[in-house]
């Protein structure tokens, strides 16, 4: 399913592929790869509050800022924070080491694009993931979702963190 007009990049409209996932929906499971090329499933974190911070590429300033901010917040939360992008796992690991990112888990969707397609965030024009944030409760239900309208802008950190705290994070 193609969705036009949901996101843009600096005002240029983009096409998202996949369903419109929002608060109230069950969080679709997916597999992505960690820095050691081992599979990571969302189901691995059932029973925990999870924040998914999706970024187009860690090699951009806004994605870097988003990852740094959620790393800072993760230090204060009882939640798993997953940052997911299409970047290769090796690049994600290098990025985290360079910037001392150690409170979140970076995972890569480059291989099968399961996350991007399951969450309706695959950008047809670029092959990247749309900037977004999801908060998932301990039972696997999405309680907060934000797809950032223009992927060159930052998400609403405060509301996402408040929602996670409300769930016991």
pLDDT at 138 over 90: yes
Predicted local distance difference test score (pLDDT) of residue 27: 98
pLDDT at 136 over 90: yes
33, 42, 54, 63: the catalytic one is 63
What's the whole-model pTM score?
Answer: 0.96
pLDDT at 169 over 90: no
pLDDT, tens only, 93-102:
999 999 999 9
Per-domain residue ranges of the chain: 2-166
In this prediction, residue 51 has a pLDDT band, given cuts at 50, 70 and 90, of very high
Structure tokens at 43: 């189901």
pLDDT, tens only, 8-39:
999 999 999 999 999 999 999 999 999 999 99
What superfamily in CATH does domain 2-166 come from? Answer: Glutaredoxin (3.40.30.10)
Which helix (H) or strand (E) segment holds residue 69: the answer is helix 61-74
Is 96 catalytic? The answer is no
Predicted local distance difference test score (pLDDT) of residue 14: 97
What DSSP line would sit under 104-134, residue for residue? SEEEE-TTT-HHHHHTT-EETTTS-BPPEEE
pLDDT at 131 over 90: yes
Within 10 angstroms of residue 150's Cβ, the number of other Cβ atoms is 14
């Amino acid at each position: 399913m193609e969705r036009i007009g949901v996101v843009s990049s600096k005002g240029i409209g983009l096409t998202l592929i996949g369903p419109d996932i929002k608060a109230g929906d069950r969080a679709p499971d997916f597999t992505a790869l960690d820095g050691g090329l081992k599979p990571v499933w969302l189901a691995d974190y059932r029973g925990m509050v999870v924040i998914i911070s999706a970024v187009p590429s860690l090699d951009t300033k806004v994605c870097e800022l988003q990852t740094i901010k959620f790393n800072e917040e993760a230090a204060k939360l009882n939640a798993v924070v997953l940052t997911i992008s299409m970047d290769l796992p090796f690049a994600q690991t290098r990025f985290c080491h360079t910037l001392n990112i150690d409170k979140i888990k970076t995972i890569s969707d480059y291989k099968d694009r399961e996350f991007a397609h399951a969450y309706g965030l695959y950008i047809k024009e670029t092959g990247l993931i749309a900037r977004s944030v999801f908060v998932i409760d301990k039972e696997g239900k999405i309680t907060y979702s934000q797809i950032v309208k223009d992927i060159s802008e930052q998400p609403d950190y405060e509301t996402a963190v408040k929602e996670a705290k409300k769930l016991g994070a």
